Each structure stands twice: as C-alpha cells, then as structure tokens.
Structure 1
Amino acid sequence: MRIAYSPCPNDTFVFHAWAHGRVAGAPPLDVTFADIDLTNGMAERGEFDVLKVSYAVLPWVLDEYALLPCGGALGRGCGPLVLTRDPGDGNGDGSGGDGNGDGGRARAAGLAGKTVAVPSERSTAYLLFRLWAADLVPGGVGEVVVLPFHEIMPAVRDGKVDAGLVIHEARFTYQRYGLHRLADLGEYWEGTTGLPIPLGAIIARRSLGTARLRELAEAARASVRAAWDDPVASRPYVLEHAQEMDPAVADQHIGLYVNEFTADLGEDGYAAVRGLLTRAAAEGLVPPLGPDALDFP
C-alpha cells in the first residue's frame, strides 16, 4: 500500500506501528515522506493509495479519495500562527494575540499589502489565514510566497518576508528565532465557531473498495492506539525524521496534535470539517461539497 505522509512527529508517531508491521493483519506500507504542500499535490494528481493531506484540499480530491475517520489532526489550541519579526506588530513578550478585539484588529491591519510566507496554498492553515484576513486585514495582504514550513521562520527572521504562517512544532520554537506572534488562527477559528480546528486528513483511494477502505481505517486506528500504548517504541522513528530534533519539542508536538480526534473524528470532528469547508465555499475559496462527500463507506 503506497502511502505518503509528512516527517512531522505526529505523523511518524501515528504511523510507526503500522509502518513497522506491528498492526496485525494490516497491509504492508510503502512509505514516502513529503511536506504537506507536496502531499496535497500528490492527492490532486491521484498518485498514492493513502495520503496525509490538508483538510482544505478535500473539495478537489473527494471524487477520487475517501476521508478516513481516523489518523488525522484536529484539535483545540493547536491552530496555525501568524508570526512577524517586528515586536510592534505583535506583543513584545511574544505571547501575541488572537486577532480579535481592537488591539488584534490593529495588529492585523498592519499586514495590509505585506508579503506573507505560507506552507501551501491548499493548506488548511492558508484557508484559515484567508478567512481571518478577509475579516481583519483591510484590502488584504500583498504577495503570498509558498515555502516549506521549516524555511518560513528563517525567512521572517531574515527579513525576506514580512510575516509567516507557521504550523506544527513552530508553535513551540518561534521565539528562538526572535519572532513575535501576531495572531493565533486556532483561537480565531474556535472563538468564531466554537468548533475544533481541522488541520490534516487521512484519505484513501475510493477505487480500493469498501472492504479495503474499512480495513485501512481500522489499521490506522490500531496504529494510533499502539502508539499510545507504547510511546517509547516510536521515539527513534519520530526523532529520525523530525525537522526539530529536540525530544521535548517532539513530545509537545505529539501531545498537541495526536488526540481523541486522531482515533476517531466523531460528531464534533465531522462538524468542524464540514463547518470549515462550508464557510470557505460560501466565501468562494473552495468548491462546494456534495451532501455525501465526507461520508465514509
């Protein structure tokens, strides 16, 4: 089974057991590691059997792929951040704001016409950013530059871009680059909707058939549970592939992004996904979903 997911700690933690033959009865995996911008493109081209992608790309791929109800990344307090180099754009202590209220609006307005680095134009982070900017950045931002996520903070620090949209373990490391948090898009999303934040989805090719899709979902769920049962087993695999090699940061990353929604989307998870994509479609940012597009066989 050809699968592509990122080298980030949450993905390697989730898939370690399955990738290493520790999930009984699960099909063997042929793993390709790729950043989210690449996996989104792979999904649009139909290149793999199973992929970790942004929820934002689903409207373009759900004709060919089914959303698995487990293995992905949703949660609360785990949203993307907008970072700047100038402390005047955020809070001097690096704690930042959520983009709401008069102070948040004033800081957000400062991005008008500015250059912003993002990890992918199809990413959920960028979709949340566009919804936030439409509310709070008069006239919109200027140029948007796509960079691999691990290059974004250095680009902001070095003045190559005015701001950066960051994901993953950057939440825990941005102050090391002397950067400041302008907005937490998770706080913005949760504050305006009350829903958890849908970030990364696991999808599988529909042509595999219903029985195989259900088998893959059970394998993903079993791999998550195996990781929770024996977290030490996955540690070498996680650290081998992590962009940030500090074990403490990897642990923070896993603790934030691997949660009850990873084991099962559940009612709240599906509501969050549908809420994000419905709102984005209403703004003309993504194609509208069909009524059964998110249903799992």
Structure 2
Amino acid sequence: MKIYFSPCPNDTFVFHGAVHGLIPSAPKLEVTYADIDITNKLAMNDNGPDILKISYGALPWVLDKYTLIPCGGALGRGCGPLVLAKENSDPTSLAGKRVAVPSERSTAYLLFRLWAKQHVPNGVGEIVVMPFHEIMPAVRDGKIDAGLVIHEARFTYPEYNLTLLADLGSWWEEDTGLPIPLGAIIARRSLDTAAIEKWIRESVEYAWANPEASHDYVMKHAQEMSPTVAKSHIDLYVNEFTAALGDDGFAAVESLLGRASAEGYVPKIHLSALKE
C-alpha cells in the first residue's frame, strides 16, 4: 500500500510503528516522504497514492476520491502558522508586499487569507509558493518581504533574526475557541477505510507507549533538526486529536472550511461528507 507523508517529526513519530511492521493489523507500506505542497497536488490526481497526508485546506477538492481518516493527522492549540518579517511592523505593512507561503492549498495559506482579509485592508501583493524550509532564509535575505511558516519554524525563527508579525493560531483560537485543523490523513474511498483507521490509531498508540522507539527514524528524516526541537515538535503536534478527531476536531474543520467557502476560497462541503 502506497503512503505519502512528510519527513517532519510528528509524521514519522506517528507512522513509525506501522512503517516498521510493529503493528500487526497494518499492511506492508511503501513510503514516500514529501513536502505538503507536493501531497496536496498529488491528491488531485485520479491515480494518486492510496493514503497521504494533506492540508485540511486542500480537502474540499479531493473528497470525491478520498475519505478523511479521523486519526493520525495534525490539529491542536498553540500550534498555528506564523507570519514572519525581517523587521518589526504591523499587519498593514503587508499591503502590496511579496509573501512566501508553503502551498496555495495549505491550511496555513487558508488561515492567512482569512486573517489578511481582516488585518490587511488593501490586500497583500504577490504570493510566492516555496518549500517551507526555504521560507525563513528567503525572508532573512530580503528575497521576500514576509513569510508564512509552519512546523518547527515556530521554535527556530529567532535564529534567522526574524520578527513575529502574527500568530495565526492565536488569532484563530481567540476568534473561534476551536483547535486549528492543519494536516489531514486521507485514504482512497475504494479501500477498507475502517481497517486503515484501525491500524493508524494503533500506530499512534504504539508511538505514545514507546516514545523512544522511533528516535532514530525520526532524527534520520528531521532535516538537521536538533533532538530537542524534534521533541518539542512532536509534543506540540501529536495530541488528543491525533488519536481521534472527536466533536471538537470535526467542528474545527467545519468552521475553517465553512468560513473559507463563504469567501469563495474553497468549494462548499457539508460535515456529512467528512464522515462518509
């Protein structure tokens, strides 16, 4: 079974058990590690992978082919995307400026568009898509005016002498009271999705029960991240919603995609489509 997810610590931590044959109910997995922009695009293809991690922001475009697996993904509080700049400034300074984002169909970009509509009345200028690990160096070097960053950038951006313009997670939580839906695990509707949900949840539970077992695997793919940062990344992004979306998780997804569809940013979907 072909599965695509990122090399980030939260994904490798979650899927370590299943990938290494430690979960009896899991099939043999053929893994490809890919940036979120790549998986968002792959999910649009008719011959896309069996299982993959995508942005919740890309979900409305693929629900005809894929179903949402209500575990294994990334939702949470205090873990939202950040808007970074080289110098201290207020949000209105982004008007007409070049902003780098990790994917045009990422949750981060969707949150950014909703936030910018409130805080940048005249609108930003050019949006430039680039791999998330290239964004902070580009802002630091003046190639981009501001950057929308995700993942471990929350912990490392001071090393690039960048300043925080906005924490979109804090904005979202204050505005809605809900967690932030970031990354979704999806599987082809033609597969036994109940069985997939079972072994993914078992892989999550195995990771929590054996937190050191995945250390070498996590660090091998952690893109030169320090063990301390990798652990902070896992602690932040692997949480109760990783084991099960639950009512709050589904409400968060519905709220995000409902707001986005009202603005015309994504196709309209119904909550029932997320649970089918």
Q: TM-score w.r.t. structure 1 length?
A: 0.91
Alignment of 1:222-237 (within 5 A): 222-237=202-217
Q: How far did residue 138 of structure 1 move?
A: 1.4
Distance apart, 1:291 and its partner CA: 5.0
Amino acid in the other structure paired with 1:124: T
Q: Secondary structure at the match of 2:43?
A: helix
Please say if 1:243 is aligned against 2:226: no
Aligned to 1:134: 117
Q: CA RMSD in A?
A: 0.8
Measured after TM superposition, the shift of residue 243 of structure 1 is 1.9
| Deviation per residue, 1:41-67 (Å, 9 max, x gap) | 010114100000000011100010000
2: CA distance, partners of 1:294 / 1:243: 33
**Mapped partners of 2:141, 2:27: distance in 1:** 45
Task: Tell me the equivalent position of 1:215.
Answer: 195
The Cα of 1:25 is off from its aligned counterpart by: 2.0
- The letter for the 2-side match of 1:122 is R
Flag the 1:246–1:291 CA change in 2: closer, same or farther, 3 A: closer
The aligned counterpart of 1:199 is 182
**Which residue matches 2:6?**
6
Equivalents in 2 of 1:234, 1:69: separation in Å?
23
SS in 1 for 2:218: helix
Q: What CA distance in whole angstroms lies between the structure 2 residues aligned with 1:285 and 1:111?
A: 20
CA contact (8 A) 1:80 1:184 kept: yes
Match of 2:131 in 1: 148
Residue in structure 1 matched with residue 162 of structure 2 by the alignment? 179
| Equivalent pair of 2:4/2:32 in contact (CA under 8 Å) | yes
Q: Secondary structure at the match of 1:203?
A: strand
Does residue 1:261 correspond to 2:244, yes or no?
no
In the superposition, relative to structure 1, how do residues 149 and 291 fare at CA in structure 2: closer, same or farther (>3 Å)? closer
Q: Deviations over 1:126-151 (max 9, x none)?
A: 00000000011011100000010000
The residue number in structure 1 matching 2:15 is 15
Post-superposition offset of 1:293: 1.1
**Partner SS, residue 59 of structure 1:** helix
| Contact 1:169–1:244, Cα closer than 8 Å, also in 2 | no
Q: Aligned-pair distance for 1:26?
A: 1.2
Report the Cα distance in structure 2 between the residues aligned to 1:244 and 1:58, rounded to whole angstroms: 30
Counting aligned pairs with the same residue, the percent is 66
C-alpha separation in 2, matches of 1:113 and 1:245: 34
CA distance in 2, matches of 1:7, 1:217: 21
Partner of 1:292: 272
Q: Structure 1: 5+ residue runs without aligned partners?
A: 90-106
Extract structure 1 runs of 4+ deviating beyond 3 A: none
Residue type of the partner of 1:273? V
Whether the 8 Å contact between 2:254 and 2:271 is mirrored in structure 1 is no
Residues 244 and 192 (structure 1), Cα distance of their counterparts in 2 relative to 1, 3 Å cut? farther
Q: Secondary structure at the match of 1:72?
A: strand
Contact 2:179 2:249 in 1 (8 A): yes
Q: 1:16–1:223: 8 Å Cα contact kept in structure 2?
A: yes
Unaligned runs of 5+ in 2: none
- How far apart are residue 239 of structure 1 and its match? 0.5
C-alpha separation in 2, matches of 1:134 and 1:294:
27
Q: Paired residue for 1:59? A: 60
Contact 1:124 1:198 in 2 (8 A): yes
Question: Distance in 2 between the 1:202 and 1:243 partners?
Answer: 22
Distance 1:25 1:161 in 2: 47
